[in-house]
Amino acid sequence: MSENESPDFASIRLMLAYLCIATEKEASLERKVEILNRFNLSTNEMAQVCNSKPQSVRNAVNALKHGSKSKKKA
């Protein structure tokens, strides 16, 4: 949550993010993180929405970054 963001707006943003991945129950954490990146959520917020640990989210973000580099080279 940014300093200028009201608590109500932060809650709504988290709820919308959750609703976007709610239909992705079988999706990997990497896919969920890919979707949640569009909401500019922090690692802790993504972990909360995904019901995961922050380190797992950081690992997923890292995997996405490294995966996209190898795809560009191919």
Backbone angles phi, psi at 25, to 5 degrees: -55, -35
Asked, for residue 1, whether it belongs to a domain, the answer is: no
| CA gap 62, 69 in Å, rounded | 11
Whether 2 is in a domain gets the answer: no
pLDDT of residue 33: 95
Structure tokens at 21: 């991945």
Helix 43-50 with 29-36: angle, nearest 10 deg: 130
Contact 43, 58 (CB under 8 A): yes
| pLDDT of amino acid 3 | 59
Distance of alpha carbon 37 from alpha carbon 17, whole angstroms: 10
Residue 54 lies in a domain: yes
What is the tens place of the pLDDT at every residue in 11-30?
A: 999 999 999 999 877 899 99
Domain count, the chain: 1
60: domain range?
7-73
**CA 40/CA 33 separation, integer angstroms:** 11
Its pTM stands at: 0.76
